[in-house]
Each structure stands twice: as C-alpha cells, then as structure tokens.
A and B are shown apart, each in its own frame.
Chain A
Amino acid sequence: MAATNGTRSVQVKIKRFQPGEKPEPYWQEFRVQVEGNDRLLDTLNKIKWEQDGTLTYRRSCAHGVCGSDAMRVNGRNRLACKLLMQDLGSRISVEPMLGFPVIRDLVVDMDPFFAKYEKVKPYLINNEPLPRTERLQSAEQRERYDETTKCILCGACTGSCPSVWANAEWVGPASIVNAHRFIFDSRDRGGAERLQILSDRTGVWRCRTIFNCTEACPRGIHVTDAIEEVKRAILYGSTEGD
C-alpha cells in the first residue's frame, strides 16, 4: 500500500462567480492542509465546511461513478473525486468547465448538455415482438459496444472540446458516445435514424479529432475512436465491425 505522505499545505486558486454579489467572475485563493491521499473533492469540502460556506460545486458519489463533479483542474477537465492531492502539486487552479453557462462558482448549467444527449435518441429502439425471456446476444456482440456503456454523462469530454467552445450548437462528444452505444448494439434497430441525425451540420463532422475528449474522459472511453466509428458508419452505411 502506498504510504501517505503526511499533511502539507497547498494553495487552491478557485474561479468564483457569485451572482447577485459580484457581477463578474474572479479568482480567490485558499490555503488548506491536506493529506496526500485526500481527493481534490475532500479539499473542496474542507474549504467549504471550514473556511467559506459560499463555495459552490456539485458532488455526490465521491468515487467517480455519478459524474457530478467534473471541473477544470490545472487546465484539464477532471472529476474532483478521482484526483488525489499527491498528484496535483502545491498550487492548484480550479475553474468551471468551459463551454457551459456558469450558474455559480463551479456549477454549470447542464440542461443544454442533456438536451443534446436527448437529440440522438439515446434509448433502445426495437419494435419487434418481445420474446418471453431475454433477447439473445453473443458475448462478441455485447463486447462491440461495451466501452461506450461506461459513460456517466459528466460532461468532461464535451467541456474539453474546442469545437464545442466554438459552436454551441454542435452535439458534442458525449452525445455521440451515447449514440454509439446503441448504433453498435445488435438488439437495436434505430441506427439509421441516429446516423441521419448525426450526419447533419451539427453532427459528427464538426469533430476535428483533437483528442481532448479522450484525454478528459474519467471512464477511460476512447471517445475520439467512438466518434470515428460513427463517422465510418455514416460514410459506409454499415455498423458491422470496423
């Protein structure tokens, strides 16, 4: 087991936005005592509970599965609950994700994000008569879309994408990941509809394969590759393998 490296002092610089109090965002620095294996989320909690109750961010599961606490840490989108302080140096900058309207401090408006998600019909489409028991699917067919089922809709990929920053209309990587999850599911019959939606001007072609999304994904999804697979499915009209 890795040894904890004791208590140390770090400086956390947070981009604040307090509507009603101050009209413009501003940076504020906090000094905190942390343990090496504290999560960044623990550090934010410490600031909020002990120093400044007005510090505002979302959080819930605290171990990287609920997707609440995506934020920009030292210039990269991360989940605050998956980052350990020992990996962050002694001066840390924290700000809300780019490309989202800010509600307060690190809390961004996720409604437009979920609206784009809904646009790609992120649910199984199949109107064939249901068997009495399960539909059959081979382990290989199941494996085909395994990776994109891991998405937790945290927004880290979408918020790291320069094409999203440049054009708020574009569906963004997370929506494509969730379309991919169904397009390549052998039980689904809605692939053509989704490919149609994703082939228009706000669809996959705005992806410039910059790979920020892949780097940002806290679930290790190769987002850019998934987008490429969807692009190829549109070009070649097929969802069979690669």
Chain B
Amino acid sequence: MIYHKFDVVIVGAGGAGLMSAMQLAQGASIAVVSKLYPTRSHTGAAQGGVAAALGNLEEDHWKWHMFDTVKGGDYLVDQDAGEVLAREAIDAVYDLEHWGLPFNRTPDGKIDQRRFGGHSRNFGEGPVRRSCYAADRTGHMILQTMYQQSVKNQVQFFNEYMMIDLLINDGQACGIVALCLRDGTIHTFHGKTIVLATGGYGRAWRITSNALACTGDGMAVAYRRGVPLEDMEMYQFHPTGLYKIGILLSEAARGEGAYLLNNEGERFCIRYAPTMQELAPRDMVSRFIVQEIAEGRGINGKDYVYLSVAHLGKEQIDAKLPDITDFARNYLGVEPYYEPVPIQPTAHYAMGGIPTDVEGRVVMDEQNTVLPGLYAAGEVACVSVHGANRLGTNSLVDLIVFGRRAGKHIGAKWLPESDFAPLPSDPDAAATEMVEGLLSRTTGETQESIRAELRDMMMEYVGVVRNDERLQTATTKLVELKERFKSIRLMDRTRTFNTELMEVIELGNLIECSEATIAGALARKESRGAHYRTDFEKRDDVNFLSHTLAYRSETPGAPDLRYKPVVITEFQPKERKY
C-alpha cells in the first residue's frame, strides 16, 4: 500500500476544490487530488458570468438575488442556503478580483455586469445587470486565477490520480483511495478531512455540454459507501447547445440581447414568458423549445431552433461573445455575424448531489446528521441552493461561496477540534479488487455498447420531458446495463496510463448516478423546475415540497428513497411566472 497523510484531502481541482484549498493554504497540510491537470477542470468551460448583487450599473440587492434563486429553483431551494449564496457572492467576487481575475470593466473602472436568465430587479419586475463576467470565458478566468493562487501558495497537487473509493471508519470519513494513472499504482490518502469537489455527471446523456471527465465520480463513490444522493432527478438541460454536438452557447448571448427563433422566424419565448422573454429560466426555455418542436415549428421540421445574434453587430459580438461565436463557426460552419445558429437543449448541470449543510459538511439523513470529516462543494454537492432549477451564473457563485465556506469551516472549526480517525484494516482492498478484477478479466463485452446505450436511454427517457412509462423503461434498461457492466472487459490490461481502465470506472460511476436520477424521477409524481412529467403536469407542494434522498440498496435500480423537508424562511411558494 502506498500511503499518504494530510490534514485535508481535497478531491477535484476545479473552482470549488481550489477555492477551499485557498482558505487552508496557510497552516494545514493539504493535498489536492485530481484526475486531470487542474487547469483542465470543467469549471474552465463556464462562459457567461458569476452573479453578485454589486449594483455597479443599477440598483441591486442580495435579497433580490436570493429571491430569484428561490423562485428560479421552483421553491425547492433551501432558503437559508439561498440567503448565504446571495449575500456571500459579493465578497467572494471581490476576492476573485483581488486575486487578479480580469473582469470586464465599466467606464468608471468597476467590474462590469450584464443580464442573465432569471435574474431580476425588485422581486421579478424585469431583468437586472448582476452577472460579473470576463468576456465569455468567465469560468476559464476563475479556474486560471485560482490555479495561479495555488501556485503562489505552493499547494501540493496529485495530478492524474483518480479517486476510486472513499474510506469511512466508525462514522468518520478518514481517507480516499486513488488510482495513479501514470503507473497504475493504488494510493491511500489518509486524511482528517476529505473534501469532495469532483463536479457533475452530464456524460450520462448523449447530448451534453459536459466534458468527458464529468462522470459523477464523487457522487458514485460516496453513494456506494452509504452516503445518500439528494434530488438527483433535478437535472438541468441548458436550452442552447449546438445542434447535435451539445457544446454550450452561453446564456450570455441572450443576456446581451440574442433571440430564439422558430421556423416562422418568431421570437416564441415572448408568447410563453412575456416579461423575461428569452431570459426566462433555463428549465422553462428548454421546455418552450421542446414544445415548439413538438408543434412542428422546429427549423425544417427538425428537432432544433435558431439562436440569433446577428442584430447585435460585429463589434458587440467580438467584444462580448467571441468564444461562443467561434464554436458556431468551428463546429457547425455557421457565421453568427450573418446567420442564426442551430441549437437544441443539452444536458448541462446537476442541481442534485451529495447533501451538505451551509458549511459544506456532508449530511446523511432527514435530520441533517453530519458525517464528521466529510465535506462536499460545487456541482457534486446539493446544499441545496439550486433547488429544482439552477439560474445561470449561480453555478460559479456556488463554487466560490461554498468552496470558500467549506475551507473556512475546516480551518476554523473542524481541524482544531478533531483527530485523525484510524484507517479501516486493508483500506485499499475494495479498490484493489475492483482494479485487479478489471485488469484480469479476459471475456465479456467491451465498454462502448454499454456506454452508448446508457447515454441514449437517459436522453430518450430521462430528458426534458418525462412520464411514468418512460421512466419505467429507463429503470428496466438501467438494471440490464448494471448487470452487463459486472462482466465488462478491457482491451487494455496494462498499467501505464491506462485510460480505458479510467473510462470503464467512469462508466460504472455514471450508471450509479443514473440509477439515483431515474428512481428519484419516477417517485416524484409532480412537475417542478427541470423535472417535468406529462402525467403530473402541476407542481404538488402538498406531497413534494421536499428533497429526495436516495440511498443505494442491494437491489439494482431500486435505491431506498426518503424525503427531507425544504427550508423555507422568507418566500412562500408561489406559482412561477416570468
């Protein structure tokens, strides 16, 4: 066994992981374990901005931001957490600026801000300029800035180490087991604290904006060890992915004034959401698009509509939206200066994940019982600040606010009061058995068909529009895939940089995450936020104003489901209108 010992082991080197590392860089011994080089993390793909009620261009208040977040999340947001998100976004954005983030600027030299979906002034009166941004590469600049600070603070990285197990002993988290890709060795990281910051699992769907690395590793590893997954059925489809490819075209385009057009050249959003129009929240705009297509108003009768920026003019396009217009040119051969861009909804973001409290501590049940030593932050976690639908820019807010809070809590409260829990005996036994099993098996099917069938199934049956029949079909298929996965075979049985081994472990993780997603969706007999069912079209606050907790069971496809009430402090649930 190769053994390492650190006060804090942070898994994942995106925005949330690095933000917590920043808070701990002085004093504690910390390791950041990442299956990618840190600058490859998916935070870097975020485009449009990070919301904070700075009020640099017009009046704004954190309470308006909080309200928008709660309403945008269709009242499944825990409002104590929503308040923290909106209040602390402001200082967290100033932190980023102080670390050198190159925000775009106003004429008087302040951080520039622009409109974004679902963000409003005075509790829904109309759009507000709240999104702080660096062109359309805000996530890239956040990731680079945090990595730069990590270099400055000499954070110790274990790059290209993939977590494959989480160690819990006697009710306390005490380590992780990771595969070193470079030489195939298994490493045990003994930690007083484990922070999971491993991101989402969009690769479970065929059309996705997510990187190939977004395979739900943290969620799956925790789920296998008895940690519940919360609200996994709440999965966001972003309205504007490049047709067939899924690459994201930021909402920043619509924030800057882009239109969505159907085959009649009509700005159809106005019909559905007269006030916010194209800037209605993502779950709604995705449904508008699906509806237009279903009613025969897709372009050329196909399953896409247009995003048009041409009327914004070259200058504004180049200054504000250079990357995303390049994506349209590069991948579809479309020139956005003159031509509309074909788009369709793309699997984008997990509102659900590992349940945590507002300090980032992982909680295990309806009473929010803390699992000592385990934290989670970012997309892997469910605080819950996004509820049933995340607002644009709030993902980056989540990373910086809760990554920061987790780090601060660990440094100020947890480390001074705690000891290392001993490792279980043979800590790497399960991980080693899995890896050796995969490397030695010589019969069985290879990964491709299982992966393709999983992604097709999730797209067909667990997408923007759901119902009982589709979700039953998905369950049956999931159980079949889970069984087939048990006898999966590698073509590559060597140890040096075995990426097929990595991909197969990732596929297993996607299957676990999909299981919790489907089961939660099947049991939630209502429509709320991103979870839309044709057989239960209305939101049902009497029965479902609560969070799903899915616990893995021995029966494939059938996790145990429990429910936890939503925290409501200020804003009573109302019908969502935009």
A52 contact from B108, B111, B140, B491, Cβ within 8 A: B491
Interface residues of A in 110-161 (CB under 8 A from B): 110, 114, 117-118, 121-124, 130, 132-139, 141-142, 145-146, 149-153
Report the Cα distance A138→B106, complex, angstroms. Answer: 8
Contact residues, B497-530 vs A (CB, 8 A): 497-500
Asked if B105 and A142 make an inter-chain contact with CB atoms under 8 angstroms apart, the answer reads yes
Alpha-carbon distance between A188 and B339 when the two chains are bound, in angstroms: 41
How far apart sit A172 and B332, CA to CA, in the bound complex (Å)? 34
Residue with the highest number of chain B CB atoms closer than 10 Å, among A121, A133, A187: A133
The one of A57, A61, A135, A149 that contacts B211, using a Cβ cutoff of 8 Å: A61
User: Smallest CB-CB separation from B329: which chain A residue?
Assistant: A2
Tell whether, in the assembled complex, residue A152 and residue B109 are in contact, meaning their CB atoms are under 8 Å apart. no
| Dominant SS among interface residues on chain A | loop
Interface residue count for A (Cβ, 8 Å)?
62
The chain B residue with its CB closest to the CB of A138 is B109
Number of A-B contacts (CB under 8 A): 160
CB distance from B55 to the nearest CB of A (A): 11
Q: Within 8 Å of chain A (Cβ to Cβ): is B342?
A: yes
B residues in contact with A19, CB < 8 Å: 496
How far is it, in angstroms, between the C-alpha of A1 and the C-alpha of B300 when the chains are bound?
Answer: 12
**Is A167 part of the binding interface, using a Cβ–Cβ cutoff of 8 Å?**
no
Listed stretches B92-100, B359-367, B382-390; interface member = B92-100
Instruction: Say if the beta carbon of B320 comes within 8 Å of chain A.
Output: no
| Segment with Cβ contacts to A, from B145-153, B307-315, B395-403 | B145-153
A2 touching B144 by the CB < 8 A rule? Answer: no
Q: A39's closest neighbor in chain B, by CB?
A: B331
Question: How far, in whole Å, are A146 and B101 apart by their CA atoms in the complex?
Answer: 11
Contact A48–B500 (Cβ < 8 Å): yes
Chain B residues with CB under 8 A of A171: none
Q: Flag whether A104 is at the interface (Cβ < 8 A).
A: yes
* Distance between Cα atoms of A60 and B199 in the complex (Å): 13
Interface centre among A48, A53, A122 (most CB of B within 10 A): A53
Docked pose: A39 CA to B106 CA in angstroms: 38
Knowing A67-B40, A123-B152, A153-B39, say if A135 contacts B212 (CB, 8 Å).
no
Q: Closest approach, in angstroms, between the C-beta of B550 and any C-beta of chain A?
A: 27
Which of these, B40, B107, B109, contacts A60 with CB under 8 Å?
B40
Q: Determine whether B289 belongs to the interface, using a CB cutoff of 8 Å to chain A.
A: no
B104 at the interface (CB under 8 A from A): yes
**Does A26 touch B at the CB level, under 8 Å?**
no
- Which of B103, B151, B332, B491 is the one whose CB lies under 8 Å from A122? B151
A17 CB to closest chain B CB (Å) equals 10
Take A65-B323, A123-B152 as given contacts and tell me if A134 and B100 are in contact as well, using a CB distance cutoff of 8 Å.
Answer: no
| Closest chain B CB from A147 CB (angstroms) | 11
Known: A66-B211, A188-B100. A57 touches B499 (CB 8 A): yes
- Known pairs A1-B332, A124-B100; A54 contacts B494 (CB<8 A): yes
Q: Residue B280 at the A interface, CB < 8 A?
A: no
Q: List chain A residues, Cβ under 8 A from B417.
A: none
- Whether A224 is near chain B, meaning CB under 8 Å from some CB there, is no
Question: Which residues of chain B are near A2, meaning CB under 8 Å?
Answer: 332-334
B556 CB within 8 Å of chain A: no
The contact string, 1 if C-beta is below 8 Å from chain A, for chain B 425-448, is: 000000000000000000000111
With CB as the reference atom, state the residue of chain A lying closest to B132.
A134
Q: Which residues of B contact A117 (CB under 8 A)?
A: 151
Are B494 and A21 in contact, with the CB atoms below 8 A? yes
Identify 22 residue pairs between A and B in the complex whose beta-carbon atoms are under 8 Å apart, listed by A's number. Answer: A1-B339, A37-B331, A49-B451, A63-B327, A65-B137, A65-B140, A66-B45, A84-B330, A84-B331, A123-B99, A132-B94, A134-B97, A134-B103, A138-B105, A139-B106, A139-B109, A142-B104, A142-B105, A149-B144, A152-B39, A182-B100, A188-B100
Using CB atoms and an 8 Å cutoff, list the residues of chain B in contact with chain A. Answer: 36-37, 39-42, 44-45, 54, 94, 97-100, 102-111, 134-135, 137, 140-141, 144, 148-149, 151-152, 182, 211-213, 243, 247, 323, 327, 330-334, 339, 342, 446-448, 451, 490-492, 494-500
Closest 8 A-B residue pairs measured CB to CB?
Answer: A53-B491, A2-B333, A124-B100, A136-B109, A123-B148, A49-B448, A123-B152, A53-B500
